[in-house]
A and B are shown apart, each in its own frame.
Chain A
């Protein structure tokens, strides 16, 4: 860079600030149980009553989820400052199927891009020589393994469930992309897409410093938590109602693992729904507590966040209806498989 560049700020205040922030976070988190006990004891209702149980659920979950989400989104923001779609594309260009699918799916989780970038990104990848199936692995993994969902699952259901979700989400993205690649559906792209030749404009090399990365993390907290907090509170409120009032036998019989049809039903209901992972997972937690099967609720959650109608409408610009149908079919099949498998594993 030329002499116009400002003297780089010392990273020390930023790092110290981050450490202080983490210390405050830990202190707050350690007070969750005493805080909610104290808040519940102030309530003028019997803790054993339906209302008392609902309120206790709400008062404990709300601060917990918001705290954990803030941490996860911050960490994800910092991680994402190491990746860019342009670099990812260069890494994936010309990759063979198989390894390429696995790499694409993993990069799909950490590479930041906003949903309105899906089409330019798709074109940019395909026209730069990233195989179609590999591109799909990337595009499926990005929403499928959602950092908000991951953080909430970890917060509410523990690391085992979060890790299983991560592994199987990746698995679906890899397998679905691989299948789409094997089907050789390039001719089902909208014809103009294949005619595009992507330019190779080299972006200027920018040095990203640690203060920049921390700032990126804080920005994503502001943006993502700022956008989803009311979904979370609404979701926890619904979850609290279910927790306090829903009759257990009824839910267990509809969403329990004895009802085999509940997994496909959950996927079918989930596809046209467009909601936020943030609002759905607290509901999932409450349903699980009432005897719903984990595979069923996860299949529901995955189909809601990974297969959304608005995204398909956006992708329609570059994909033929047939190709979109294959995409939905392959991903839905993967989700079904995961749902059944979870119900077996977490019996």
Chain B
């Protein structure tokens, strides 16, 4: 039987994170991060995951205020969490657009040392010019260069990670030999994006390089992941969609000389637990309406209609005005296909609302609901195991909807059931994140690259 991989995603700044619940705590105090990370480690999860934000989102020219706003710095939180955990992998998103390979490689190599081999990097390709306004280097890249920049960035960073030999630091006091080779860390990298040379300052870290995660569903994203990532971070609601995606990305691996187990498919997943399936369904309904307040529902529609709908009652019928095209009202959130064809989206939604007699808020709950696993602990354990055994995924990155205690019940009730089935570890067998994921390939990669030079 396949072993399941599980990770804990710190809840983010979108309407799936319920802040209005009395149990909802701070999204910025360090104690919240400690709570979630320690829960994940107690449950023997593979890793903790932290997303990144570089500009506050806007809606109609004003800062969006209905969801959680504010995030910490990824590297800083992960380094601090290394002090309060012992085995848990520590992964985070760092974009390749508003950073430089030398600095990012240095930070990840430092994190890998400071966590004794637990660092992971979710490489994202780009944000837009809106985000670029926060950076002195400014600007952004046209879409056709996004993956080129990301690829070259990762390539440059990998060269830096590999620029120190594992045995370079001798530190022999009697002979006075600190380094075996005075040229340790030497690098030179010239391509369409980067023109850099010098000496990397961080000796080879315990994992050699961080675990590479890649989020992305597009054709280019899949190909990029197949070529370079250790795990692909995705989102697929159904078993069938998951299986198709899984087969597709694993099929791409041989072209890069890689085995299927070298790229793990780890979809993001949410869950709602109850004592019984019926109770969980009922709770899930409550959560959906907590996630979609009346105000949130109106803002959600405004993104599609692209116009002010504040005069409409969220408990009433869908707006009888037509959507307008042009400059997007919403900035700083991922654009989905839905917004690209607003007229068609509105037509479908009206049809749906009429057929089911839905108010604005009901409709938004219906179309934006993203609860992956709803049920009793045993039903959820069964469903997760089915996804993994039937090759729809290799595990899940779980996104609780409550901060910071939203994973507690899962850890206490679902994890033991997976352990009973023999599909999830009861103890960590290794010390590094690569050990947990079973993807220790850094040595052959380094060797291959040295050979190629």
On whether the two chains bind one another, the answer is no
Listed in ascending order, the chain A residues whose CB lies under 8 Å from chain B are none
Listed in ascending order, the chain B residues whose CB lies under 8 Å from chain A are none
